[in-house]
Amino acid sequence: MKNSIIIARHEIQSMFRERTFILLLAVFVAMTLASAYIGWSSQHTINQVYTAAAEQLRQSGKVAPSSPFADYPHLALLKNMIIYVILIGGLLAISTGYAAGMRERKAGVLKLLFSRPISKEDFLLGKLLGISLVLAAVILLAAAISAISSAFLVSLNAQDVIHLFSFYGFSWVYLLGFAFLGFSFALVKDDEVVALLIPIIFWIMITFVLPELTSALYPTGSLNPTLPQTDILQNPALQTMHDTVYPFSISEHYKESAATILGMKATGTAAPVQSGILNAFKIFCWMLLGLAASFAAVYSFDKSRW
């Protein structure tokens, strides 16, 4: 256990010294800062667009339907963060896990490390702990930035703050799955580029391909935090495809659960939206899957090889 803590501490120190990690972190932090303003500004303008549209309807003697934005919760201004976690957070997590798995290999110190009384279990535990704590620090920073920037734009109550931190906690679990995946491939693949490419392909499949199969969303449509209209799924073929693939569409489960946590109407679609608890459970399963891959990678790798 003591060895694991030393490895974890080293991992955290090394990560925050890595320029590429800092670069991705800077992009993530910048977008976290921007997201509250983008959300507030677009919501503000869209309310004005609705008022102008309603006025136009009234002038032509028609009754204006009620505003679809009337009961938007305060935290809806952070809806873009859901997408930034999926996009930037996903890549940040993969690069964190990848760097953790690749560091000793590239420095050629694996043999040296295991010549000391360190077991594979110590190594694995230390690495996983290090990755988890690094991501937790990133998420905490993002949560603090979001809380402060939102408080400047809208009045947040205690419940909003709890929801905001729950959203980031949930995002942390989602990102751990990708980080563990990046770590696993960095250990098992000989080629540096392929080791990074495979988790990125997984990320593309989860972020863009599965939502296209389940909700007939165009790949770039997945970048919109507004949940899709899925009336189209009345088509039997699309419905069958949806039913088959949907349980595995991790990013959609994350989007729906995150929208629910932020107080947005995740059930506003005609799709068979599963209960929030089940969706959240699937995200935990995703993280556990990544964890299992990490265990398998560490136990299968030959420590004398690199």
- Tell me the window of 167-175, 209-217, 274-282, 288-296 that interacts with another protein (CB under 8 A): 209-217
Q: Please, what is the minimum distance in Å from the beta carbon of residue 204 to another protein? A: 7
Among residues 113, 136, 140, 99, which one has the least CA distance to residue 7? Answer: 113
Please identify which residue in 36, 78, 102, 139 interacts with another protein, judged by CB under 8 A. 102
Angle of helix 158-188 versus helix 276-300 axis, rounded to 10: 30
Please identify which residue in 155, 157, 234, 304 interacts with another protein, judged by CB under 8 A. 234
With contact defined as beta carbons under 8 Å apart, do 124 and 11 qualify?
A: no
269 binds another protein (CB under 8 A): yes
CA–CA separation, 302 and 285 (whole Å)? 28
Please identify which residue in 191, 302, 304, 305 interacts with another protein, judged by CB under 8 A. 191
- Tell me the window of 81-89, 123-131, 152-160, 161-169 that interacts with another protein (CB under 8 A): 81-89
With contact defined as beta carbons under 8 Å apart, do 283 and 118 qualify?
A: no
* Site of interaction with another protein (CB under 8 A): 19-20, 23-24, 27, 31, 34, 38, 41-42, 45-46, 48-50, 52-54, 56-57, 64-65, 68-69, 79-80, 83-84, 87-88, 91, 95, 98-99, 102, 106, 191-194, 196-197, 200-201, 204, 208-209, 212-213, 216, 218-220, 223-229, 231-232, 234-235, 237-238, 241, 268-269
